[in-house]
């Protein structure tokens, strides 16, 4: 079965219902990391919705009407949709379509060109193609012909906007010929914003005038083949495996513009009214799509992540001072170029949507800390994120309170406090959240923050004056609160305040993604984690399945429980295009399958590489070039209950520790055995950067 392939055999069923559930499009989708197209239709015509990561309306305020907007629509008239078939080829980026007696091919090239080819009988009617721009949200639209090219522009340029945004779409028929009684017509569509080029209209017209269908098709195919060559997994459940590859494909389709990383809904924006303005939500939503990218060996998808955080630095300092702290603090949401999507008149928290949470900047640091441990790229860390992490640590140095030798977090909510209700907000209703002590998710995030900044600083030789303080915080941050529920010791949401919630997975995010509990943890702590995990089955959580399921792998729950959870998500929320339609969020759910599968097959977050740590050893499986912390690429095969092969490539030359009863370690370049040091059930060996090592074993998998 080709798990890089998907077939859609019916028109997408969408709705104008305002609920978030129905904003995730069901139609076929493709993109290049910036530009995206989504298939849709109305009663008569085929529609392609065009969106772009950098096309936002820069209106300020939480209720100011700002946010990401759709670019426009390609309309195909005179087309028979009674026969509807679209084949998605993820590993080539191509869509092959059949509509009635017409066949079509679509792809989005690495540069922002959409190409399509229409093949129809000579004696039949050919689809007519046009471009439309929406007239909502007070945009200024224009259309004209230039050098025989159909051009349309859309612009938000009112004087009360923080900045102007504009986009041009140009359509041109680039060839037409007759082949075997069929007409074959090719088109090119270019999409250019004013953030791409000041002369965006001229640039767009030039792009269609100088396009090359075959060359760009080859480049598109090579791009996606190279992308999927970076890593691979092979598991018995081919539906899960297909969703694994499709999820990585959809993430890569919207993670390519370094200045405008994807907001809540990536680049499948089909109208101007996506919830929460499609913004950057910092209490997990912005971060969640990146959970899986490092273990999947796609660190290149991280490239744009820090941009909006860096753009908020000046504001982050101001926000920190509101709490009498140095460093950085962030609101719950904002947009690119420091777009204010957080201020609200009448909000009882400085007029800014913090929603009672001080942990947003610490949560933002999770992903660069993941990058650090998985790459140990010192220069990249120094240039791209150490300063942000250091300044976030400064905030927490000031915000933490030391009581009886322990660092305590006060007045920091685990869940959002609805200050956005303004005059309708009632303090007494949310008193336990407002006065919370030691929210468990913040304890995990802050612990990871100080572990990460300390590790980076020592490797980079920076801020030595801070080491003793950071060591003290790491050693003496308050323990995770616990209580007895249903007769079992479980984690409590706060030490003082909220005890428990039956929705969401906040009470487990100190396990994943904050990485504070794993298979190396004390057995008592693991027992508490597992008790908490099973008290409330959150496999179908609208917000948290993307952390709940990987967390299960981290603490070693029954792998069948996790695989069943993935199947449940696919059945309940999976769409024909392999996106997930949840009530909350958008692209965040694309991380669920790859993050969970990767953690089941390989773990390395505790400094120990574990092969198939949460996998049914009676099921054969294999993976290639998954990435483990320590900057190692690992490939392994599990066959008939035994690890039949294991190859580890060291990217940075760091010591490598592996769990299991490996007999020997062979350096691949010269086939020589390397010295190993055994400690209990692990072995450690020295490595050199770029070298590969073969682990020989005859034992059953642990």
The rounded distance, in Å, linking the Cα atoms of 567 and 604 is: 25
Burial of 574 (0-12, 13-18, 19+ CB in 10 A): buried
pLDDT at 22: 63
Is residue 65 within 8 A of residue 73, CB to CB? The reply is: no
Whether 20 has a pLDDT exceeding 90, the answer reads: no
Structure tokens at 413: 């909510």
Whether 55 has a pLDDT exceeding 60, the answer reads: yes
Whether 172 has a pLDDT exceeding 50, the answer reads: yes
pLDDT at 14: 67
Whether 26 has a pLDDT exceeding 50, the answer reads: yes
| CB-CB neighbours of 390 under 10 Å | 18
Whether 585 has a pLDDT exceeding 90, the answer reads: no
Structure tokens at 425: 């907000």
Q: What is the torsional sign of CA 545, 548, 554, 555? A: negative
Is residue 99 within 8 A of residue 111, CB to CB? The reply is: no
**Cβ neighbours for 144, distance < 8 A, ≥ 6 positions apart:** 151
The rounded distance, in Å, linking the Cα atoms of 344 and 518 is: 40
Q: What is the torsional sign of CA 544, 546, 551, 557? A: positive
pLDDT at 13: 82
Is residue 114 within 8 A of residue 169, CB to CB? The reply is: no
Q: pLDDT category, 699, cuts 50, 70, 90?
A: very low
Which residue's structure tokens are 């336990």? Answer: 432
Tens digits of residue pLDDT in 200-213: 999 999 999 999 99
What average pLDDT does range 228-233 have in this prediction?
98
Rg of the chain in Å (alpha carbons)? 26
Average pLDDT of every residue of the chain = 95
Query: Against a cut of 0.85, is the pTM above it?
Result: yes
Is residue 346 within 8 A of residue 419, CB to CB? The reply is: no
pLDDT at 15: 56
Cα three-residue angle 83-85-91, rounded to 5 degrees: 170
Structure tokens at 141: 């639209």
> In the chain, how long is the greatest CA-to-CA distance?
87
Tens digits of residue pLDDT in 459-487: 999 999 999 999 999 999 999 999 999 99
Q: pLDDT category, 697, cuts 50, 70, 90?
A: confident
Find the distance separating the first CA and the last CA of the chain, reported in whole Å: 29
- CA–CA distances in Å: residue 361 to residues 107, 340, 364, 395, 415: 37, 16, 5, 9, 15
Judged by DSSP in three states, 71 sits in: coil
Residue of 478, 455, 459 whose CA lies nearest to 389: 455
Q: What is the torsional sign of CA 466, 469, 475, 477? A: negative
Whether 702 has a pLDDT exceeding 60, the answer reads: no
Portion of the chain with pLDDT greater than 70, in percent = 98
Give the domains, in start order, of the chain with CATH numbers.
Answer: 5-232 (2.70.98.50), 279-597 (1.50.10.10), 621-696 (2.60.40.1180)
Tens digits of residue pLDDT in 143-166: 999 888 999 999 999 999 999 999
Judged by DSSP in three states, 614 sits in: coil
Q: pLDDT category, 698, cuts 50, 70, 90?
A: low
For residue 586, report the phi and psi dihedrals to the nearest 5 degrees. Answer: -135, -95
Tens digits of residue pLDDT in 626-668: 999 999 999 999 999 999 999 999 999 999 999 988 789 999 9
The rounded distance, in Å, linking the Cα atoms of 6 and 249 is: 12
Of 191 and 586, the structure prediction assigns the larger pLDDT to 191
């Amino acid at each position: 079965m080709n798990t890089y392939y998907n077939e859609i055999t019916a028109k997408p069923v969408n709705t104008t219902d305002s609920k978030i559930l129905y904003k995730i499009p069901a139609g076929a989708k493709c993109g290049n990391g910036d530009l995206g197209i989504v298939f849709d239709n109305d009663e008569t015509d085929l529609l392609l919705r065009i969106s772009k990561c950098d096309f936002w309306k820069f209106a300020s305020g939480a209720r100011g009407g700002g946010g990401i907007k759709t670019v426009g629509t390609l309309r195909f008239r005179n087309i028979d949709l009674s026969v509807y078939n679209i084949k998605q080829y993820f590993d080539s980026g191509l869509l092959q379509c059949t509509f009635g007696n017409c066949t079509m091919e679509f792809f989005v090239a690495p540069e922002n060109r959409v190409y399509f080819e229409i093949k129809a009988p000579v004696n039949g009617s050919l689809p007519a193609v046009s471009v439309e721009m929406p007239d909502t949200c007070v945009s200024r639209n224009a259309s004209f012909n230039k050098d025989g090219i159909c051009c349309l522009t859309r612009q938000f340029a009112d004087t009360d906007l923080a900045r102007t945004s504009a986009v041009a779409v140009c359509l041109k028929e680039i060839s037409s010929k007759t082949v075997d009684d069929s007409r074959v017509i090719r088109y090119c569509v270019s999409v250019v914003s004013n953030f791409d080029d000041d002369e965006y209209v001229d640039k767009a017209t030039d792009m269609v005038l100088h396009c090359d269908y075959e060359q760009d098709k080859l480049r598109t195919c090579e791009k996606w083949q190279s992308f999927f060559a970076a890593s691979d997994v092979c598991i018995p459940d081919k539906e899960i495996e297909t969703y694994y590859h499709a999820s990585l494909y959809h993430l890569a389709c919207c993670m390519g513009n370094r200045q405008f990383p994807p907001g809540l809904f990536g680049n499948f924006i089909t109208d101007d009214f996506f919830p929460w303005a499609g913004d950057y939500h910092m209490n997990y939503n912005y971060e969640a799509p990146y959970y899986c990218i490092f273990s999947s060996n796609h660190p290149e998808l991280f490239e744009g992540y820090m941009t909006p955080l860096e753009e908020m630095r000046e504001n982050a300092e101001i926000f920190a001072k509101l709490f009498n702290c140095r460093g950085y603090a962030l609101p719950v949401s904002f947009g690119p170029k420091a777009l204010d999507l957080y201020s609200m008149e009448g909000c009882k928290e400085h007029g800014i949507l913090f929603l009672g949470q001080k942990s947003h900047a610490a949560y933002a640091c999770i992903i660069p800390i993941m990058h650090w441990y998985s790459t140990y790229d010192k220069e990249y860390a120094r240039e791209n994120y150490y300063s942000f992490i250091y300044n976030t640590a400064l905030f927490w140095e000031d915000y933490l309170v030391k009581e009886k030798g322990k660092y305590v977090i006060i007045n920091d909510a685990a869940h959002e406090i609805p200050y956005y209700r303004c005059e309708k907000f009632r303090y007494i209703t949310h008193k336990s959240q407002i006065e919370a002590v030691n929210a468990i998710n913040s304890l995990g995030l802050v612990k990871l923050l100080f572990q990460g900044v300390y590790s980076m600083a020592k490797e980079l030789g920076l801020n030595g004056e801070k080491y003793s303080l950071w060591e003290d915080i790491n050693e003496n941050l308050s323990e995770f609160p616990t209580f007895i529920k249903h007769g079992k010791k479980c984690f409590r949401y706060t030490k003082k305040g909220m005890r428990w919630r039956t929705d969401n997975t906040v009470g487990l995010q100190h396990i994943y993604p904050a990485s504070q509990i794993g298979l190396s943890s004390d057995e008592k702590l693991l027992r508490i984690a597992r008790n908490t995990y099973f008290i409330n089955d959150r496999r179908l959580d609208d917000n948290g399945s993307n952390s709940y399921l990987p967390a299960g792998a981290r603490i070693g729950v029954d792998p069948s429980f996790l695989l069943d959870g993935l199947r449940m998500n696919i059945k309940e929320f999976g769409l024909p295009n392999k996106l997930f339609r949840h009530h909350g969020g958008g692209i965040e759910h694309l991380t669920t399958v790859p993050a969970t599968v990767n953690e089941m097959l390989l773990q390395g977050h505790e400094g120990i590489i574990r092969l198939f740590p949460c996998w049914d050893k009676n099921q054969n499986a294999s993976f290639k070039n998954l990435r483990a912390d320590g900057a190692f690429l690992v490939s392994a095969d599990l066959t008939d209950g035994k690890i039949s092969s294991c190859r580890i490539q060291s990217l940075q030359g760091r010591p490598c520790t592996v769990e299991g009863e490996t007999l020997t370690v062979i350096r691949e370049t010269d086939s020589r055995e390397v010295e190993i040091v055994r400690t209990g059930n692990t072995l450690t060996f020295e490595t050199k950067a770029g070298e590969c090592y073969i682990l020989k074993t005859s034992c059953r998998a642990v």
